Amino acid sequence: MSTLDPRSVAGPRRGGIALGITLTLLAVTGCTGERQADPAALAPASSSPAGEVTVPASPDASAPGPLVPTGTPEVVASGFTTPWSVAFVGETALVSQRDTGEILEITDGGTRIVGEVPDLAARGEGGLLGIAHADGYLYTYVTIPGGNRVMRFPLEGTPGSFALGAAQTVFDGIPSANIHNGGRIAFGPDDQLYITAGDATDPDTAQDPNTLGGKILRVTPEGEVPADNPFPGSPVWSLGHRNPQGIGWDAAGTMYASEFGQDTWDELNIIEPGANYGWPEVEGIGGQAGFVDPVQQWAPADASPSGLVVVDGSVIIANLRGQRLRVVPTADPSSAQEFFVGDFGRLRDAVVSPSGDLWFVTSDTDRAGGSDDEILRVPLAAG
């Protein structure tokens, strides 16, 4: 088992060329076995890459109750095929469809096609995945022949007549596979672009600093490496991930990420720059020096967490296999609540609309018998 010394890192090259990163690996001693969840350990102390122990702050008892769904969800729009991500442009919602490569706009009359991404290689979990909007561009995470890339398109026109301009490659060379394909993109409170990259079925890459697989990446809106990234010249923000598919930030700037485990534990992590989250050496809470433990974990049958949103004291996670929305209070992650268990099938994404409602996305058309996917909304209230 190894941990990273981020003292010597050369710059990456875009366009699929390998990153020229040199890191010193420090050997440490420890068991690679996993242990059963201990309710008292669901918000454990964590270790930085340098081995320094950080104890999470005690919950603030005076903080307001977390926001939770309240009432009966109603359908916003239906008739989707493998919808994956929702991004708002003002009051207008845009939706990505994984297998068709289409960007759809939700209108008063239903949906309309805004455009299609080029060079799509939709297979398995790959295709048109996460989308995000910033500064007049629509950013997309797309599987192409030979890998994944982030592209952006000038968003032209006005609501009801949006169109995509010419594609521009922002960042590429991210490994792809039928599974463990990552795919979420989002702009953080620092206005930088964060990208989740799965291990693409090669677990060892998650611990290899010379690859992009099994990482959360951070680049500028133009795809360059920010000067304050933890490994100089590298887009890697954190490593040791299997298949992260949800990212979000609270009002204080704390970053959360959901992650698919293998067959033991799915995770919710607090992401720190340069930290190592253990895969494949550790799955779930391992308590091993050099690796950061999750603040919550669940059996995959109850979770398989994909998209998430962080809002007013709550991390709200859409779960696929678990077929539920899960609300994790940021003040006390051990006191999670579950909503709509089994009511709407597999759930892919969760976002908050400009009006403050929670929107969530179903994901059943890529499974036998699934003929229609929809987006639903439900009010949020302190609970």
* pLDDT tens, position by position, 201-211: 999 999 998 89
Average pLDDT score over residue span 322-339: 97
* pLDDT band for position 17 (cuts 50, 70, 90): very low
Q: What is the pLDDT of residue 24?
A: 31
Backbone angles phi, psi at 301, to 5 degrees: -65, -25
* pLDDT band for position 367 (cuts 50, 70, 90): confident
* pLDDT band for position 366 (cuts 50, 70, 90): confident
Q: CB under 8 Å to 266, separation ≥6 — which residues?
A: 258, 259, 260, 297, 298, 299, 300, 303, 304, 305
Average pLDDT score over residue span 318-336: 97
- Of all residues in the chain, what percent carry a pLDDT higher than 90? 80
| Total number of domains constituting the chain | 1
Average pLDDT score over the chain: 86
Residue 53 pLDDT greater than 80, yes or no: no
The boundaries of the domain holding residue 355 are 65-382
Q: What is the pLDDT of residue 64?
A: 59
What's the token pair of residue 127? 């295709």
Q: What is the pLDDT of residue 7?
A: 27
**In whole angstroms, how far apart are CA 374 and each of 11, 33, 206?**
43, 40, 34
Backbone angles phi, psi at 204, to 5 degrees: -65, -25
* pLDDT band for position 61 (cuts 50, 70, 90): very low
Q: What is the pLDDT of residue 287?
A: 97
Residues 15 and 173: beta-carbon distance below 8 Å: yes
Q: For 26-40, 146-160, 209-223, 330-344, which range has the lowest pLDDT when averaged over its residues?
A: 26-40
Average pLDDT score over residue span 275-296: 97
Residue 16 inside a domain? The answer is: no
* Residue pointed to by tokens 């990234």: 229
Residue 80 inside a domain? The answer is: yes
What's the token pair of residue 369? 């018998």
Q: What is the pLDDT of residue 129?
A: 98
Residue 49 inside a domain? The answer is: no
What's the token pair of residue 261? 């485990």
Global confidence as pTM: 0.85
What is the rounded distance in angstroms from the CA atom of residue 142 to the CA atom of residue 181? 10
Helix (H, G, I), strand (E, B), or coil: what is residue 78?
Answer: strand
Q: For 57-66, 154-163, 172-181, 188-197, which range has the lowest pLDDT when averaged over its residues?
A: 57-66
- For residue 114, what is the domain's CATH number? 2.120.10.30
20 or 349, which is more confident: 349
Checking 36-39 for CB contacts under 8 A at 24+ apart, the result is 37/265, 37/284, 37/285, 37/297, 38/285, 39/334
Residue 12 inside a domain? The answer is: no
What is the rounded distance in angstroms from the CA atom of residue 358 to the CA atom of residue 352? 5
Residues 166 and 155: beta-carbon distance below 8 Å: no
Q: In what order do the strands lie in the sheet with 314-319?
A: 305-311, 314-319, 324-329, 337-339
Residue 110 inside a domain? The answer is: yes
Average pLDDT score over residue span 369-380: 91
What is the rounded distance in angstroms from the CA atom of residue 238 to the CA atom of residue 312? 25
What is the rounded distance in angstroms from the CA atom of residue 347 to the CA atom of residue 303? 10
Residue 46 inside a domain? The answer is: no
Half-sphere exposure of 97 (CA within 13 A, CB side): 24
Residue 32 inside a domain? The answer is: no
Tell me the per-residue pLDDT of 25-43, one tens digit each, with 9 for 90 and over. Answer: 323 333 322 223 333 333 3
Tell me the per-residue pLDDT of 233-253, one tens digit each, with 9 for 90 and over. Answer: 999 999 999 999 999 999 999
59 or 36, which is more confident: 59
Average pLDDT score over residue span 165-171: 98
Residue 198 pLDDT greater than 60, yes or no: yes
Q: What is the pLDDT of residue 49?
A: 36
Residue 39 inside a domain? The answer is: no
